[in-house]
Amino acid sequence: MQGLSYVLKVDKLVVKYGDKVAVNGLSFIINEGEVFGLLGPNGAGKTSTIRAIMNIVDYQGSIDLLGKGRPKGDLMNSIGAVMESPALLESLTVKEFLELVASLRNVNDTQRLDHLIDAFELRQYLGNYIMNLSQGNKQKVAIVAAVMHRPKLLILDEPFNALDVKAARIFKEIIQNHKKEGGAVLFSTHIMEIAEKICDRITIIDKGSEVTSGPTHEILEKLNAGSLEEAFLKAIHAEEQIKELTEAL
């Protein structure tokens, strides 16, 4: 482990659903203290990549977490994840769910748990069934569950979905602090403004394959773009298409 600086290494990843290839030979590395953006249009293969890392779907290629191989069993304690649609145990109350996660992750720092609850203004909802919560509050519960144990790698799939402004700001601060403490973040989104602000390096994928990759500022320079949105549209060759379509309207 000495001298190892990467937290996650994905090599030649292939994910298939029957005949459909969702991810096609994707490779990337996420280093300590780095926010890595995985960007792409809807259906590009972002969520499939994350599902492979989370060991949810079958895949080919290799995934290595902290030099210990594929994430599984106790190694999952090094990961905290917020998925696009947080699937929680809906008939548990918020408190019961967080107690379950804390027990399974051996979290004894209840003070941190209390701070997180207060930061995301969830205390009043502790007795609520998760099913009753708004989408935004469900997202907050998923975030608390993902960060309570100070994981080495945060996997975030569209984590700002439905979050209110204050909660989104607090979560951005948590991501920055996590980075400062040497943690790594895999950040998947299609909202370019947020990606541009928080990602150190990005990989843009389309139809399951890498289109371009590198530090954010280098990609902007390489594609001669003023913003990440412009770079993204250029990378996936959508600018011309958008022009044609809007003209036809």
**Shorter beta-carbon distance to other proteins: residue 58 or 218:** 58
Q: Smallest distance, Å, CB 184 to other proteins?
A: 16
Please, which residue, 127 or 182, has the CB nearer to other proteins? 127
Of the residues 14, 21, 100, 211, which one makes contact with other proteins according to CB under 8 A: 100
Whose structure tokens read 């079958």?
58
Residue 110 binds other proteins (CB under 8 A): yes
Distance CA 22, CA 123 (A): 40
User: Does the protein bind other proteins through residue 101 (CB under 8 A)?
Assistant: yes
Span from 76-84, 166-174, 175-183, 193-201 in contact with other proteins (CB under 8 A): 76-84
Torsion of CA 138, 144, 145, 148, to 10 degrees: 180
Using the rule CB under 8 A, give the single segment among 68-76, 197-205, 206-214, 221-229 that binds other proteins.
68-76
103 lies in the site for other proteins, by CB under 8 A: yes
Residue 92 within binding range of other proteins, rule CB under 8 A: yes
Minimum separation from the CB atom of position 35 to other proteins (A): 19
Task: Name the token pair of 182.
Answer: 């040497």
x/- map, 13-52, other proteins, by CB under 8 A: ----xx--------------------------------x-
* DSSP characters over the chain: -TT--EEEEEEEEEEEETTEEEEEEEEEEEETT-EEEEE-STTSSHHHHHHHHTT-S--EEEEEETTS-S--GGGGGGEEEE-SS----TTSBHHHHHHHHHHHTT---HHHHHHHHHHTT-GGGTTSBGGGS-HHHHHHHHHHHHHTT--SEEEEESTTTT--HHHHHHHHHHHHHHHHTT-EEEEEES-HHHHHHH-SEEEEEETTEEEEEEEHHHHHHHTT-SSHHHHHHHHTT-HHHHHHHHHH-
User: How many residues form the binding site for other proteins (CB under 8 A)?
Assistant: 52
Under rule CB under 8 A, residue 162 binds other proteins: no
Considering the complex, what minimum distance in angstroms separates the CB of residue 94 from other proteins?
9
Q: Which of 26, 65, 122, 146 binds other proteins (CB under 8 A)?
A: 146
Interface with other proteins by CB under 8 A: which residues?
A: 17-18, 51, 54-58, 72-77, 79-81, 83, 85-93, 95-108, 110, 113, 126-129, 131-132, 142, 145-146
